[in-house]
Structure formats: structure tokens, C-alpha cells
Amino acid sequence: MERPELPLAQLHAFVVLAEELHFGHAAARLGIAQPPLSQQIRRLEDKVGHALFTREPGRVALTAAGRELLPAARRALTDLADGLAAARAVGSGRAGHLRIGFAASLALTVLPGLLRAFRGRFPDVRLDIREMTTAPQIAALRDKSIDVGLLREPPADDASDEAELAFRTVLTEPFVAVLPSAHPLAALRTVRLARLADEPFVLLPRETGPRLHDQITGLCAAAGFTPWVAQRAVEWQTVCALVETGLGVSLAPASIRRIRLKGVAFRTVEPNARTRVAVGWRKDDLSPLVAHLLATVSRDPDSAR
Amino acid sequence: MERPELPLAQLHAFVVLAEELHFGHAAARLGIAQPPLSQQIRRLEDKVGHALFTREPGRVALTAAGRELLPAARRALTDLADGLAAARAVGSGRAGHLRIGFAASLALTVLPGLLRAFRGRFPDVRLDIREMTTAPQIAALRDKSIDVGLLREPPADDASDEAELAFRTVLTEPFVAVLPSAHPLAALRTVRLARLADEPFVLLPRETGPRLHDQITGLCAAAGFTPWVAQRAVEWQTVCALVETGLGVSLAPASIRRIRLKGVAFRTVEPNARTRVAVGWRKDDLSPLVAHLLATVSRDPDSAR
DNA sequence: GCGCTCCATACGCACAGAGATATCAGACCA
DNA sequence: TGGTCTGATATCTCTGTGCGTATGGAGCGC
């Protein structure tokens, strides 16, 4: 790639003149007087080394050399205009590409509203959403395979080893007991946690979200028992299905009320605790898209319908 | 098409830096010091309105906006470089497109050498050659459907109605008598024209080249007779074939000796006259290609082998 | 012949920007 | 802790060029 020889301003003048084929009109379209235009063209012709127009009195026409240069000049100008517009759109966050990880349990609650709100505001941004549990999201944020994560129970903000990631709580929600409809406790409005002490439990594997898992077992411990986990399942959907078949009961974030199954009842528990849903991102990620997404999350707190 | 906002020099610097990802190396490749390069990039970023590179200590990288701008910048630069080169090639006559009309009788003499010489000198020029007799060539030159004509017996240079066309004689050649090999006159080295007075003639139609036709009949008239035209044919090739079958004799430019037929003999005639082959072009055609072709014609006078 | 249109030329001004040198600041390494 | 590498900043110079106004000159039509 060599040093460019032709100033863009002159090429612009050239293209306009090639369209108008009239110095006066072309100058008017360019918003300048006629003599400067003559100069522009002259300078361009000097640089090219050949005449680009023939000026017979009354008629201006392109030469063969001019016909050769014209399409290249036109392409270059439109390419640059388009490229500049695209770069500005991306730079300002009006366009681009955002990869979002999300916890499966949010697929029916926070996520739809958030996506709808964001898409409404930034229709040219391509959203790449992928379901991931908490721990993989943190790893994915670190290795930059996602830009934003929506997860449950993030590491504490002040954890020393999380210097590169930031989290902000999006919402908190209570836990609910997940019971088979036929279960005696399902008849109550509120279930005291201790009453679940002897029930078999269905839970997610601890690795998929250690802090949430610990919070659940911690709740049980506070109620005076250690839950006996009869079955593990990797999705809340599956957990509910297993509960329906009578394999056990569960404790889950209230979000999963959205999973409507005939044979499953959700009951508030007592004593309760709230679990946090947070949004996480890389602190050093200056992308305006991330900023916009974070702003959208804050602006629409009830997007978690 | 709007006024271009991004100076090409800055885009060039941008592209080079995007390839090197190192200010020092990029500056070296650009042949400038490092601070000016920093300025170029800064100015470009100011105009775009967003950062194009991230400068973490030790590693320079493109931002999303920069990645968006890069291909457009690259395309624009190469387009312009290519377009400029093409325009210069066309302007200088090293490339382009030339339409040449030629008389059929030259297809075996002047033309091959001329084309070979021209192609050798200007391999990037596309030559569009089309066979035309004299009168259509003049019309084609006028309406610009050909750029150069190779023809026999052009109108006189000083003809008042030929102000827009110019002609230059390429070569002159004598006439030869075309006889069946078995013809008694074929036994002679030279044929006196008057001896053909009672022979039937095979000639081209007058319209295809009135001046050549008139020259032939003029020769006969000078020898004291008016030729009896037993047959007309539109190509010299055909004329020779008809002579071979004994349908008559003919008078033709010496070029047609190239048409070798077993039963046809070519004999010089006496008295003789020479016929001119000329190249014609539009006087107002400033194309360097035409100038080059004319120069080639002059430079290789013996291309008429 | 006169005026009109159209383009070129001449001259002047002002500003952007490309280049240089010199210096500074942060990161990293020995 | 000091040296090195990297990029940013400051300041200055100078050229290019973009634009203006004023003017010239060639065709063309009335």
C-alpha cells in the first residue's frame, strides 16, 4: 500500500463534475464558486498526468482516462462514507455485536423484557445470547467469549480475585418451595422450612452455581436440617418435572413460578432469604454496547416480569 | 454524495497501523517519525468521533469501530491506487481500446505486421478490428464507430468536405494483371495493358471503393479501351477464384499476390500506376492510442510484407 | 457588433495538517 | 532502582490547498 496521491476533496469535485458536466452547476452543487472548481480539477489532472475532461466550448465531456478513474473515485468515496457511518454507529453503540450469557432460570423472567427493551432502543445491534450457568459465565467473561452475563449469586464484589470483573444486582427474589400438588404441605399458603426436613430433595448440581447451591443448603441448615438430595437435574425445568412425578421437593428462586406444570405447586417459605440476580461484565470493557445494556437493565427494573 | 471528511493520508496511516499494531514500526513503514503518526491517528479518531485503537501498554489493538472502518479504508485506498494507475495507463495510451477498420485486401499484407508491432509495444490495448471497404470506413470514422481506418485510395487530403478527417499514405503498390495460368499472356513476364482490351473482366463492385475502381478503369482507358465487366465479386479472394475458373481476367493491387491459387498467375502490367494504401483518423481525436498507432504505421513501413 | 455564457487564469488570504525535535509518563525488566 | 521500550504531548515550521474576488478570452445567438 503506497502513499495516496489524490486528495479526496479533488476526487469529490471530479465525481460531481462528471455527473453535471458543467462547471457552474457542479460548483453550485459543491457549494463553492466556479474558479475554485476549475482549480480543483486542474490540480487533479496535473496529478494524474492527463486530462480528465475535454472542454469544448459549450460541452464538457469525460476523456477516456476520466472514464477510467470515475468508477474508482465513486467507489472510494461511497466506501469511505459507508465505512465512516458504520464505524460511528459501532463506536456510539448504535450498532455492533453483543454476546450475552444468561442463567436458564432467567429465560422466562428477566431476559425477555430486557431483550425487548434493548432491541427497541438499538435495533442494529446483533444480540448473541447463550444459556450458561453461573460458573461458566464467569469463565466466559474472563476469556472474552461473552461480553455480559446475567447470573445468579455472583461472587462478592470485593473478592480480591475478581478485580477484572464487575457485577451489579439486577433484582432480588425470594425462594419458593416446589412441591407436588398432592403433597400435604401444598395445602398451606406458606411452608415452614423445617417441615421439609424429611423430604427428599431435587436440586441442581453444585458446580453449575456453587453460591446459589450453598445458599439453598444454608437455608436448610438454618432451619435445622441438611437436605437429602435424592436427585440432581441440570435445568430447573427438569427439576420441576421430577417434583411433579413425586421424586421429591425443591427450593428454588421465585422466578421458576413461570414454569407452569399441572402437578406442581409453588409456596413461599419461612423463614426466607432473597437470592440475587446480577449482571456481570469486564471492568476494562469500554464498549458502549455494554454500557447501553447496563443502562437498559437499570432503566427497566421491572423488565423482569 | 457528500463532502468527504476523512483525509486519505490519515486513512493510510490508519491502515498501516492496523497492520503493524505498533506505532514505531508503522511510522517507520510510513517513512515518518512516531509522534506525527500518533497525531494522524488522533486526528482521525477525532473526526470519526470514537477511538479506533486501544493502547494498552505493550499492545495496540483495534476497537470495534476500528474493525468496522478498516475494510472500507483499505478498499478505498486500493481502489484509488488502481483507478489512478488505470487512468494513467489509458491517458498515456498504454491501455485502452482502439477500433480499427481495414480493407479486406490488406488482411494478408499490411494488417498482420501492423497488429503484431502494435501489440508488441502496447499489449494492454484492446484492438477491435473489423473488415470494411473504403466508403463505409469513411462513414464509420465520421460517426466515431471506428477510430482508425486502413483503406485504399482515400479522398484527397485537400477535399473541402473532408475537414474533419485526416489521411496519410502508408504505402503505394503497383497493379498486377490477374490471369488464369493457362492464359497465353501468362507466359509473359510483363503484360501490356492494351492486350487485355478484349478480355472479360472480373472486378469489385464500384460502391465498395469508388476511387480504386475508377483508377482501374482509368488505367484501361489510358490503354485505349473500356473493360467489359463479365462478373463482380465483393472480395479479392473471390475475384481470384473466378479468374481461376476462366471467367475472365482482372487488374488488382499487388497485395493480392498473397492469395496463392494454383491456376492463377499475377503479372506486372505496362504502363503501370501505383495505388495508395492510407491510414485515416479524425483530426480532432486526441487519443494517444491513435497517435501510437499512427507512429507504429510510420515506424514499421515494411510491416506490409 | 454586442452581450451573454462558460471556462480559465491571476492573485491573495487563511487555515489545516503533515512533518520535525524535544520531552514526558507508564510499564516492564534486570 | 535504574534502564528500556512504548506511546502521548508540546511546540514550531512550512507547505499545500481550498476558497474568494477580479479579470480574461473564446463561442454563440440576436
Comparing C-alpha atoms, which of B128, B93, B7, B85 is closest to residue B293? B93
What is the nearest CA distance from A220 to chain B, expressed in angstroms? 48
Nearest nucleotide over every DNA/RNA strand to the A13 CA, judged by C1': D18
Cβ A243 vs Cβ A179: under 8 Å: yes
Cis peptide before A271 (omega within 30 of 0): yes
What pLDDT sits at residue A304? Answer: 42
Provide the 3-class DSSP secondary structure of residue A145.
coil
Indicate the residue type of B269: V
Comparing C-alpha atoms, which of A57, A44, A132, A118 is closest to residue B83? A44
Q: Answer whether residue A158 shows pLDDT above 60.
A: no
User: CA-to-C1' distance for B196 and C23, Å?
Assistant: 103
- Can you tell me the mean pLDDT for B261-279? 89
- Can you tell me the mean pLDDT for A258-274? 89
How many beta carbons lie within 10 A of that of residue B89, not counting itself? 18
Q: Answer whether residue B305 shows pLDDT above 70.
A: no
What pLDDT sits at residue B301? Answer: 54
Provide the 3-class DSSP secondary structure of residue A179.
strand
Q: Which of B65, B68, B87 sits opposite A50 (nearest CB)?
A: B87
CATH architecture of structural domain B8-91: Orthogonal Bundle (1.10)
Say how many CB pairs under 8 Å bridge A and B: 160
**Directed axis angle between helix A288-299 and helix A110-121, to 10°?**
120
Q: Answer whether residue A65 shows pLDDT above 60.
A: yes
Write the secondary structure of chain B as one string of H (helix), E (strand) and C (coil).
Answer: CCCCCCCHHHHHHHHHHHHHCCHHHHHHHHCCCHHHHHHHHHHHHHHHCCCCEEEECCEEEECHHHHHHHHHHHHHHHHHHHHHHHHHHHHHCCEEEEEEEECHHHCCCHHHHHHHHHHHHCCEEEEEEEECCHHHHHHHHHCCCCCEEEEECCCCCCCHHHCCEEEEEEEEEEEEEEEECCCHHHHCCEEEHHHHCCCEEEECCHHHCHHHHHHHHHHHHHCCCCCEEEEECCCHHHHHHHHHCCCCEEEEEHHHHHCCCCCEEEEEEECCCEEEEEEEEECCCCCHHHHHHHHHHHHCHHHCC
Q: Look at B235 and B231; give whichever has higher pLDDT.
A: B231
Q: Which of A158-162, B171-175, B248-252 has the lowest mean pLDDT?
A: A158-162
Instruction: Give the Cα separation of A69 and B90 in Å (integer).
Output: 10
Provide the 3-class DSSP secondary structure of residue A51.
coil
Contacts of A201 (CB under 8 A, 6+ apart): A227, A228, A229, A230, A231, A248, A249, A250, A251
Which residues in chain A have their CB less than 8 angstroms from residue B54's CB? 286
CATH of the structural domain A172-275, one choice from 3.40.50.920, 3.10.129.10, 3.40.50.720, 3.40.190.290: 3.40.190.290
What CATH number was assigned to the domain covering residues B95-171+276-303? Answer: 3.40.190.10
A145 touches strand C (CB under 7 A): no
Chain centre distance of CA A168: 15
> Could you check whether B8-91 and B172-275 share the same CATH topology?
no
Contacts of B128 (CB under 8 A, 6+ apart): B97, B98, B99, B100
Annotated domain spans of chain A: 8-90, 172-275
A39 touches strand C (CB under 7 A): yes
**Which residues 44-73 of B interface with strand D at a CB distance below 7 A?**
55, 57-58, 60
Instruction: Look up residue B157 and give its three cell numbers.
Output: 487530403
- Give residue for cell 477525532: B46
pLDDT in tens, B96-126: 899 999 988 788 788 888 999 999 999 999 9
What pLDDT sits at residue A301? Answer: 54
User: A8-90, which class in CATH?
Assistant: mainly alpha
Q: What is the DSSP string of A252-285?
A: EEGGGGGS--TTEEEEEEES--EEEEEEEEETT-
What is the nearest CA distance from B65 to chain A, expressed in angstroms? 4
Q: Answer whether residue B84 shows pLDDT above 80.
A: yes
Could you tell me the end-to-end alpha-carbon distance of chain B, in angstroms, rounded to an integer?
A: 55
pLDDT in tens, B54-81: 887 778 888 888 899 999 999 999 999 9
Which residues in chain A have their CB less than 8 angstroms from residue B84's CB? 5-6, 48, 69, 72
Instruction: Give the Cα separation of B144 and B11 in Å (integer).
Output: 42
Provide the 3-class DSSP secondary structure of residue A130.
strand
The pLDDT-based confidence of A190 (bands split at 50, 70, 90) is: very high
pLDDT in tens, B137-193: 988 988 889 999 999 888 765 554 556 788 888 889 999 999 999 999 999 999 999
Q: Which nucleotides of D are covered by protein (CB under 7 A)?
A: 6-11, 17-23, 26-28
CB contact under 8 A, B80 and A3: no
Q: Answer whether residue A155 shows pLDDT above 80.
A: no
Instruction: Give the Cα separation of A301 and A299 in Å (integer).
Output: 6
Angle at A167 between CA A161 and CA A173, to 5 degrees: 125
